[in-house]
């Protein structure tokens, strides 16, 4: 009897599932809470990562190499940080509080992130970033590295390490790099005048880039005349210039068109320029010279198009004045021996500088152009003082001190501000006012095109390249990623000149991007930041 009762009880499975459920319930509940914690930690990490990504991008966007770039980057990160938050996990069973991700460059205790600036990063993402790649020098900083301090998230399910902890740390970091592209840049590159001739060394290339920025910042390039010769050689050097490729097509005529209008149809990335090979100097000379009101060769029927209008002050020591075809066709300057300009007839801006030879061209040893002689010939009045000219407009970059005389560009701006100076004739009858009618410009009135809105036609914007090094690694033979050390804003002191089989441009450097620059190129730059880690 007892045996039957025991067997019946043993074989009775009613309520079995309930029993198993009661036994498994703690495990199921614990696993559910663990899954919730894993999801919470993933969400918190994502929110924190998004915050540091935004900070790194905001900081990197300011790293343009100028002297205040790091302080600007810190300010940008601070502004982003004040509005960034992530779910903090709260206390006890709370799932909801928010922790503001904050950055104060002067108060580490109040900051929930650390910010560092880098010169470079390892090629392999798995390689830790060494301290040797960090920098506090604005001109060296290219990367912003934002590292979130670990944030404790209180867990619902105890962490199974002795069941003594109830928090886990959530951390994230991000690295972003600065990129610059220049739009509406004249499609030419010039060789860095501070690069040693024949250079093939990357380290020497870096030194030359630094020398360019340092000398510009110190005012050592202010008013210096640079004579750049075109070249199709495979080994260009300081004093040469070459061409950048445009997406509008191939050939000299397309390039000349882009130089004439200042519209290459693309933006050029500083780290990846496409160069244009071949001898194209002739048509390019014609394109550049439309900016002075000369319409020769393929441009002889473009004089009614506003895109080829001359600048509003084009004094250039042209031999013949007036509206006749020869006066507005090819640039035929007054010469005194091998020098452009004649003090008894007419002179161009930048006249009479004492030049020294570069491997491909020439550069004046200082701001030594003959300002007084030019003014006497062009204006015939008392020479304005340096302070008078510079009070109207100054491109002098140094924060202290003053130049010994104004640059040709600053004199040009002074003339533009005083129309009677533009209208004054030199001894041969040439004025700065562009001739109109006949074979000269016949398009819409030049007063319709202010420099503030349309730019100045005597300014060009070019890339500066360490040509020796870039040629040595095969980057100047077309369709290669040539690196520019800077973009430059330059003033054409006179039209492009034909000299036997060569052409050359006479320029003054007004401003550059990066360290020591004055920021006047900002309107042409498209600055971007990219996450790289």
Choose the final residue of a domain: 158, 181, 204. 181
Distance CA 42, CA 52 (A): 15
Q: Is residue 32 part of a domain?
A: yes
Fill in the DSSP letter of residue 448.
G
Give yes or no for a contact between 469 and 204, defined as CB atoms under 8 angstroms apart: yes
In this structure, are 177 and 190 located in the same domain? no
Tens of pLDDT, residue by residue over 377-407, are 999 889 999 999 999 999 999 877 889 999 9
Mean pLDDT value across residues 270-298? 81
Q: Is residue 28 part of a domain?
A: yes
Choose the final residue of a domain: 166, 181, 196. 181
Distance CA 395, CA 398 (A): 9
Give DSSP secondary structure letters for 341-356.
-BTTTB--TTTT--EE
Mean pLDDT value across residues 339-352? 93
Handedness of CA 375, 434, 454, 251 (dihedral sign): negative
Mean pLDDT value across residues 325-332? 81
> What tokens were used for 327?
């006066």
28 class by beta-carbon count within 10 Å (0-12 exposed, 13-18 middle, 19+ buried): exposed
The partner residues of 87 in beta bridges, in order of sequence, read 98
In this structure, are 120 and 231 located in the same domain? no
In this structure, are 294 and 307 located in the same domain? yes
Give yes or no for a contact between 254 and 287, defined as CB atoms under 8 angstroms apart: no
Tens of pLDDT, residue by residue over 467-524, are 889 888 888 776 667 888 999 999 999 998 877 666 788 999 999 988 888 888 877 7
Choose the final residue of a domain: 117, 146, 181. 181
Distance CA 230, CA 188 (A): 10
Q: What mean pLDDT, rounded, does the chain reach?
A: 82
Q: Which domain holds residue 473?
A: 184-531
Residue 146, phi then psi, degrees to nearest 5: -110, 120
Tens of pLDDT, residue by residue over 204-245, are 998 999 999 999 999 999 999 998 887 665 677 788 888 888
pLDDT of residue 494: 93
Q: Is residue 10 part of a domain?
A: no
In this structure, are 235 and 161 located in the same domain? no
Give yes or no for a contact between 172 and 146, defined as CB atoms under 8 angstroms apart: no
Helix axis angle for 69-82 and 16-60, nearest 10°, is: 150
In this structure, are 226 and 257 located in the same domain? yes
Q: Which run of H or E residues covers position 121?
A: none
Tens of pLDDT, residue by residue over 69-81, are 899 999 999 888 7
pLDDT at 98 > cutoff 60: no
Tens of pLDDT, residue by residue over 252-277, are 777 888 888 877 767 788 888 888 76
pLDDT at 62 > cutoff 50: yes
- Strand pairing category for 502-512 and 484-499: antiparallel
Residues shown for the chain: 533
pLDDT tier at 162, thresholds 50, 70, 90: very low
In this structure, are 478 and 512 located in the same domain? yes
Q: How many domains does the chain have?
A: 2
Instruction: Return the ∠ at Cα 475 (arms to 473 and 476), rounded to 5°.
Output: 120
Distance CA 196, CA 211 (A): 11
């Amino acid at each position: 009897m007892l045996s039957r009762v025991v067997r019946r009880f043993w074989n009775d499975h009613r309520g079995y599932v309930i029993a198993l459920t009661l036994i498994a319930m703690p495990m199921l509940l614990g696993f559910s809470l663990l899954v919730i914690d894993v999801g919470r930690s993933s969400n918190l990490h994502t929110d924190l990562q998004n915050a540091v990504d935004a900070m790194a991008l905001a900081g990197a966007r300011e790293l343009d190499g100028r002297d205040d770039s790091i302080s600007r980057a810190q300010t940008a990160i601070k502004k982003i940080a004040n509005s960034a938050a992530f779910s903090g996990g709260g206390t006890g069973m709370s799932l909801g509080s928010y922790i503001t991700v904050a950055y104060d460059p002067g108060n580490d205790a109040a900051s929930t992130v650390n910010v560092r600036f880098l010169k470079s990063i390892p090629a392999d993402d798995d390689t830790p970033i060494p301290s040797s790649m960090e920098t506090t020098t604005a001109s060296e900083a290219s990367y912003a590295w934002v590292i979130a301090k670990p944030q404790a998230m209180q867990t619902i399910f105890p962490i199974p390490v002795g069941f003594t902890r109830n928090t886990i740390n959530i951390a994230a970091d991000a690295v972003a790099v600065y990129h610059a592209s220049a739009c509406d840049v004249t499609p030419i590159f010039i060789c860095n005048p501070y690069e040693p001739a024949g250079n093939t060394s990357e380290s020497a290339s870096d030194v030359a880039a630094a020398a360019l920025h340092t000398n510009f910042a110190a005012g050592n390039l202010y008013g210096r005349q640079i004579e750049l010769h075109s070249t199709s050689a495979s080994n260009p050097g300081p004093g040469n210039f070459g061409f950048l490729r445009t997406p509008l097509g191939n050939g000299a005529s397309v390039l000349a068109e882009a130089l004439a209008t200042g519209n290459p149809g693309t933006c050029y990335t500083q780290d990846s320029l496409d160069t244009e090979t071949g001898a194209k100097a002739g048509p390019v000379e014609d394109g550049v010279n439309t900016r002075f009101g000369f319409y020769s060769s393929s441009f002889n029927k473009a004089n009614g198009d506003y895109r080829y209008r001359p600048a509003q002050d084009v004094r250039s020591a042209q031999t013949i004045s007036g509206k006749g075809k020869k006066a507005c066709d090819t640039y035929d300057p007054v010469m005194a021996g091998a020098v452009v300009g004649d003090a008894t007839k007419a002179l161009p801006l930048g006249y009479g500088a004492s030049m020294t030879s570069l491997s491909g061209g020439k550069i004046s040893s200082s701001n030594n152009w003959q300002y007084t002689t030019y003014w006497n010939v062009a204006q015939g009045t008392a020479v304005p003082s340096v302070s008078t000219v510079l009070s109207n407009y100054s491109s002098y970059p140094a924060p202290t001190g003053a130049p010994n005389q104004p640059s040709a560009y600053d004199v040009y701006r002074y003339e533009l501000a005083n129309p009677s100076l533009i209208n004054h004739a030199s001894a041969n009858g040439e004025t700065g006012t562009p001739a109109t009618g006949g074979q000269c410009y016949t398009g819409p009135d030049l007063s319709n095109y202010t420099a503030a809105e349309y730019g100045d036609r005597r300014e060009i914007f070019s890339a500066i390249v360490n040509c020796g090094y870039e040629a040595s690694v095969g980057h100047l033979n077309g369709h290669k990623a040539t690196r520019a050390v800077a973009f430059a804003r330059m003033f054409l002191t006179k039209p492009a000149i034909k000299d036997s089989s060569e052409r050359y441009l006479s320029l003054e450097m007004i401003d550059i991007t990066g360290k020591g620059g004055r920021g006047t190129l900002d309107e042409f730059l498209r600055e971007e930041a990219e996450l790289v880690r």
